[in-house]
Structure 1
Amino acid sequence: MAAFRVRVEAVLHDFLDGRARAAAADGMPAVVVETVRAFFAAGGKRLRPLVCVAGWYAASGRGDTASLVRAAAALEMLHAFALVHDDVMDDSATRRGRPTVHRALTTRHDGGRTAAAAARIGAGAAILIGDLALSWSDELLRTAGLTDRQLRTLWPLIGEMREEVMYGQYLDLTSTGRPSADVEQAMRTVRYKTAKYTLERPLHIGAVLAGAGPRLLDELSAFALPIGEAFQLRDDLLNVYGDPSLTGKPCLDDLREGKHTVLVACALRNADPEQQAALRTLLGTPDLTAGQAGRLRRLLSETGARRQVEDLNHHPPGERRAGTCPQLPCARRGRRPAQPRRLRHPPRHLTTSRTAPCRCPPRDERQMSPCHARTCSYAPSLTRSARIPRRPASTPWNG
């Protein structure tokens, strides 16, 4: 995988070199391309491109991988678009240990302008640079050397991926400043903003490039969604309890903005009246002090919310399904979800588990059918393990 990461970096570097030459030939400002180049140079895990490559291997991909690498690089360019816009919406100060794009552009354009005018120009310029990154991700795909058949299969997936992450971002944006005890709504945001976008769709894209069919895509979804959810739940904890010198992100932004995360929703659900009053007073305070943030962190721990979110990542699968995590819908109603079943034909390079449909009754008031953990908001895929159990080498896949 390290070799694939180097190749993705090389594709991005060469592509931006070409964009810089085209901009110079047309007399366009060089700062646009250089800002995107600096954004990539600041770091990043290149997770989505590597997950895309893993999907290709899971579908037993063979042969030349040049097209795969370029398609994977397109996902990283798409991610740059998403992060630049996300930082503008959240007005984040840093990303990967450096000033965010809109803050850097604000500083660049503050000469002779008021602070408010410079900030407005910085935000607007960052939005335009993010839009260019989105356009460039399309160009990387169009020039990846894919066959017509691959492109016909791939474009709908790319469209779904973009739509899902934008809906997830919309849910996140509109709930910010109004946190509630609705854990299911917070998990819906996690699923669409992170789990599908970070793991499920990149796996699908890589697998489709290798010729995968619907059955394998379903198996990859069963593998990817709980891990993607765990990834975001851990990120939510780091955004409150993490060390900025290690994470590269501030640890006050989520608290100051009043983000409706699973962590906050669990705290509000568990809190007594006095704790609830303190949480609602402090969450969303724009000038939250370090002392007030410390009090919020203590409240999140004292209400058991931190432990519950940790449990969602680390609780043994059997105990979680048995209903010991009180924030799960099935547990609150005292019902036990169906036991997991093994996949008969797992992906070659993956070991996974899958949960049969939950037996919870439908929500009559919403006319919903009995929930399936992977698709239904009534029983989120939290009912599946976020840790993937390893199969003993001697155990056959016999259903």
Structure 2
Amino acid sequence: MENVAALPALESRIATLVAQYAGVPAGMTVPRTCAAVMDAVAGQGVVSSEGGKRLRALLALATFDAVRGGTGADGDDPGRSAVMDLACAIEVFQTAALVHDDIIDDSDLRRGKPSAHRALAAALSDAPQPDHAGRGLGIMLGDLLATASVAIAHDAASRLPKTQPIMRAFLNMHREVEIGQVLDLAVEEAPLDRPEALASSSLGVFRWKTASYTTIAPIELGLLAAGTNTTKARAIAESVGAPLGLAFQLADDLIDVIGSPSSTGKPVGGDIREGKRTVLLADALIAADGADRAELIRMFEAPVRDGDDVARAISLFGSTGAIDRSRGRIATLWHAADAAVGDAAGMLGLSDEGRALLAGACARFLPAHLRER
């Protein structure tokens, strides 16, 4: 069972919360000469927060509903409105992370629209250095959204019994993602002549940068909001969320080369153009013969890669078996996460409906064809 009935309410609530928490506080003003820029940044915060699959929020809500025995949006638990806001806080934090990611990666698009710093640069086209100003304002927008996510989570947690554990978990999520971003940048400096080490390091980074806020925190926060013991909540969140989060990131990297712009909102091969050190690349380097390996290394060590390079890299990812290896990794991790859901259902005493609700929310992170061995 999939709890998707909450999607329209989530979209509306996120827009309301971002407008409330990421702009100028009520009752305060900014200098008139600066108001237009501030309004542009606040407006971009709302635009950047639109869309997305809301997988993280739906997972948090499904976890709460599974434990409380509710069926979703029509449940009458008085704490569910607070959990809705807590779920929105995770999504607002994700938007903050994506705004910063797009600046780091110099990305033009996000969810099929101009990335925040590009949109802000366009809005400031009359400025002496619009691109520089756009990047600067993008950094600050990311900061505003990250701070807003904490305020939203705090106000939501204050309406729930486990206020302090919830806030500790939310702030721990922030810290883990920030560490993960540092580690991700460190991996980008890794030499390509040791692909086994590159694969191992990249998988380790996924736990910090992706799984931490994509799957682990939503499960942990949903369990805490439902009254689960703090230690048990963390253990279950790790057992289910770690393999699920790694599978999700591997799938994202794979879809980057086998997907389409219409389905992803990004150009095919974006990671290749950026020269990203992915597990997919590491697997190709491990399996490639001498000439193909040398070609990949030259390609990814070059300052730029064009469309021909993207096509050639994708071809090598296929011919070396890296794509098939990635599919195998994803399926193995999915089955580990699914088994952990079964164990968690027993530990939590979930009904069959509750287990199905949690399992369905987890399954949404991966296309069906990638969950199969």
Give TM class, smaller chain. 0.7 to 0.9
| CA-CA distance at 1:266 after TM superposition | 0.9
Work out the CA distance in 2 between the residues paired with 1:275 and 1:212. Answer: 52
Match of 1:39 in 2: 48
Work out the CA distance in 1 between the residues paired with 2:118 and 2:333. Answer: 43
CA contact (8 A) 2:100 2:142 kept: yes
Match of 2:153 among 126, 138, 141: 141
Is 1:57 the counterpart of 2:65 in the alignment? Answer: yes
| CA-CA distance at 1:87 after TM superposition | 0.6
Match of 2:247 in 1: 230
- Aligned counterparts, 1:1-399, within 5 A: 1-19=3-21, 22=25, 26-27=29-30, 28=35, 29-41=38-50, 43-60=51-68, 63-64=77-78, 65-113=80-128, 117-144=129-156, 146-147=158-159, 149-176=161-188, 178=190, 180=192, 181=195, 182=197, 183-213=199-229, 214-314=231-331, 343=343, 345-347=346-348, 348=350, 349-350=354-355, 387=371
CA contact (8 A) 1:177 1:259 kept: no
Residues 192 and 237 of structure 1, relative CA distance in 2, 3 Å threshold: same
Q: Which amino acid aligns with 2:65?
A: Y
- Partner SS, residue 227 of structure 2: coil
Work out the CA distance in 1 between the residues paired with 2:151 and 2:233. Answer: 28
Unaligned stretches of 5+ in structure 1? 321-338, 352-385, 390-399
Work out the CA distance in 2 between the residues paired with 1:316 and 1:35. Answer: 36
Work out the CA distance in 1 between the residues paired with 2:319 and 2:152. Answer: 49
Q: Bigger radius of gyration, 1 or 2?
A: 1
Q: Which amino acid aligns with 1:185?
A: S
Q: Which amino acid aligns with 2:239?
A: A
- Partner SS, residue 7 of structure 1: helix
- Partner SS, residue 225 of structure 1: helix
- Partner SS, residue 139 of structure 2: helix
Q: Which amino acid aligns with 1:40?
A: S
Identity of aligned residues (%): 30
Structure showing greater relative contact order (alpha-carbon pairs closer than 8 Å, 6 or more residues apart):
2
- Partner SS, residue 59 of structure 1: helix
Work out the CA distance in 1 between the residues paired with 2:144 and 2:250. Answer: 30
| CA-CA distance at 1:204 after TM superposition | 0.3
| CA-CA distance at 1:196 after TM superposition | 2.5
Q: Which moved more, 1:262-271 or 1:25-34?
A: 25-34
| CA-CA distance at 1:100 after TM superposition | 0.3
| CA-CA distance at 1:112 after TM superposition | 5.0
CA contact (8 A) 1:179 1:265 kept: no
Unaligned stretches of 5+ in structure 2? 71-76, 357-369
| CA-CA distance at 1:241 after TM superposition | 2.6
TM value normalised by structure 2? 0.81
> What value does the CA root-mean-square deviation take over the aligned residues?
2.9
Q: Which moved more, 1:212-221 or 1:49-58?
A: 212-221
Work out the CA distance in 2 between the residues paired with 1:307 and 1:11. Answer: 40
TM value normalised by structure 1? 0.76
- Partner SS, residue 143 of structure 1: helix
Work out the CA distance in 2 between the residues paired with 1:388 and 1:157. Answer: 32
CA contact (8 A) 1:175 1:260 kept: yes
| CA-CA distance at 1:140 after TM superposition | 1.0
CA contact (8 A) 1:164 1:193 kept: yes
Work out the CA distance in 2 between the residues paired with 1:89 and 1:317. Answer: 30
- Partner SS, residue 68 of structure 2: coil
Q: Which runs of 4+ in 1 moved over 6 A?
A: none
